[in-house]
A and B are shown apart, each in its own frame.
Chain A
Amino acid sequence: MKDSVAVRGPAHARSHDEASGRAWSSGRVAGGLVLAAWATVFWFLLLTGRDDLYLSTRTSWVVPVGAVLLTAAAGGRIASARVRSPEPIRSREAWVMGSMVVPVVLVLALPPATLGSFSASKRPGFSSAGFATSLGDAGSGPLTLVDVAAAQYSKEGEQALARRAGEQVDLVGIVTRYADTPAGEFLLTRYIVTCCVADATTAQVRVVNVPPGKFQANDWVEVRGPIYPLGKQVIVNATSVEEVARPASPYLTQ
């Protein structure tokens, strides 16, 4: 029972507790607070719309469900924290519980951010041979970055895209440069997320005819111009490149 403690409530509650023989269990209260801290994260993500920074639109349902369940679990834990024999909480256990709140602090305190150009070379390229809509769209309708990227991974897609050489596109993404990227070019990158950012894959096109030095890595830009598929590589000859605000949904979803 070392380091154990029964924390008493206010006077009127204390008299009731003493009558019923119950007291607050510090271990259960601490656990309830950890659950409440995590519930706060999910409510925060839900209310600020920042769930888009971590999850895809198809899995964003996890956030309200997590918020409600964690709140219920925290409430239930604290409501059942008055016990006849208060459970001990050791110093080590308290620190472990404290460490479980560190990610909560990170999510709440960090400014909103998305994966940037640093991660582009670490991620696999997007492949969606099974995503029929994209293949269909590569043959007709306005071309999106997902259509272009998907088409690069199958012969049918490449052929469909090749037939549209010279057509105008309007694409939004982040500026990515590698060491060997010429000054008048960059790779326009967008991440495609299925469940969460951990499974992000990249969709990229090479943008040429860019004013040298005007755009920095990680800038969000809107690129307009004709598209020229050259086998596995797709080039956009930019007629206009404008810096834009980060989209509300920065990650694309299949």
Chain B
Amino acid sequence: MADIVAPRTARNATVRTAILIVAVLAVAAVAIRILEPGRIAWIQAFFIVFGSLLVQAMPFVLLGALASAAIEVFVPVDALERLAGLPRPLQLPAAALAGVAFPICECGSVPIARRLAVRGLTPSAAVTFMLAAPVLNPVVIASTFVAYRGRSALWTMVAGRFALGMLVAIAVGWVLGNRSKDELLRPRPDDARAVPLEVEPPEARWRRFFLHTGNDFLFMGRYLLLGAAAAAMVQTFLPASFVSNVAGTLVLDIVVMMGLATVLSLCSESDAFVAASFVQFGPAAQLAFLVSGPMIDLKLGALYAGTFRRGFLPMLVATVFATTLVGAMWAMVAGG
């Protein structure tokens, strides 16, 4: 008798919660229509930037989730384990170069990297891939070329972004060393259910595919919301001109441009056009903006916080910023 009553009580609680959530959303919609918060300039600016970040990023998160689910369901475990068996000096560059084949933005690469690590690829190689793909893919390199076409620093920026992006991604993988996936990844309930318990052939594969796609999208999506909200808030209130005072100051201008890339949270396929607009900054600072931005920003910070364990983010920030700083300065010296 108790077994029957308990599920019924739980069902009632769930129905009540669902009704409450729908009611809250409906009241919010009506309130928005009546109060028109967009009449207040900063609220309107915030909503537009927040909405545009999400409209731009959500399909890429879903593409990442689809690729992640395909890896989970269709790629045999031994294929990734064979890759994991490669000597480490080869693994990291190979993982970085694999990013060339994935024209996907930074939001989409996080679920893929997570799935690769869960499925047996060396975690350091998965992270290297995650960081390299948004910088090295052909769409990003082409957009960098277009943004800097006609400038004397064209090839320094295009080649520098590719080479330094790869170097930084490999450096992070190298710092991660031999950490296991359990040391690196935050556990998720569906990892434990990777082996299908509830589905039966012949439906098993497609059911699992859609299950994993949805799980990854919902998991990443909630962190993307937080990150996009933070980025939109910064973009709403922070004037881009606030960094102008440090332009031309050796080292400091590079650091400031990396910080600016972090708070602006631009898509790697468009950031070159914004970087090119900071004409008061030298090529080294602009290159640092282009390399660190797709690896560290507010929306990515939220995704990383949901995906990786606590120590990962400080290590990532320190390694990316330090390597990019040194690399950008060296690139400018070498490029004359």
Residues on A lying within 8 angstroms of B by beta carbon are 1-7, 26, 28, 30-32, 34-35, 38, 41-42, 45, 51, 53-55, 59, 62-63, 65-66, 69-70, 73, 76-77, 79-80, 83-85, 89, 91, 94-103, 105-111, 113-119, 121-132, 135, 153-154, 194-199, 201, 254
Contact = CB atoms under 8 A, between A and B. Distances in A.
Nearest to B278: A124
A127 B10 CA distance: 59
Interface residues of B, number: 86
B214 A91 contact: no
B63 interface: yes
Nearest to B146: A130
Contacts, number: 247
Given A66-B55, A198-B264, 10 more contacts: A2-B10, A34-B221, A51-B55, A85-B198, A94-B21, A96-B222, A109-B29, A110-B38, A196-B52, A254-B146
A99 B44 CA distance: 20
Contacts of B13: 3, 5, 91
A53 B277 CA distance: 22
Contacts of A63: 55
B217 A35 contact: yes
Contact of A80 (B65, B207, B240, B269): B207
B interface, by DSSP: helix, strand, loop or mixed? helix
A85 B197 CA distance: 9
B59 A62 contact: yes
Contact of A195 (B28, B146, B154, B270): B270
B7 A6 contact: yes
Given A28-B211, A84-B198, A130 B276 contact: yes
Contacts of B231: 198
Given A110-B47, A130-B276, A99 B225 contact: yes
Nearest to A104: B25
A114 B7 CA distance: 49
A55 B52 contact: yes
A117 B44 CA distance: 11
B239 A121 contact: yes
Given A7-B11, A105-B25, A201-B273, A31 B214 contact: yes
A124 B240 contact: yes
Contacts of A84: 198
A171 B213 CA distance: 47
A68 B143 CA distance: 26
Most chain-A CB neighbours within 10 Å: which of B42, B62, B267, B278? B62
Contacts of A41: 55
Given A105-B28, A118-B45, A98 B21 contact: yes
B211 A55 contact: no
A100 B48 contact: no
A139 B148 CA distance: 20
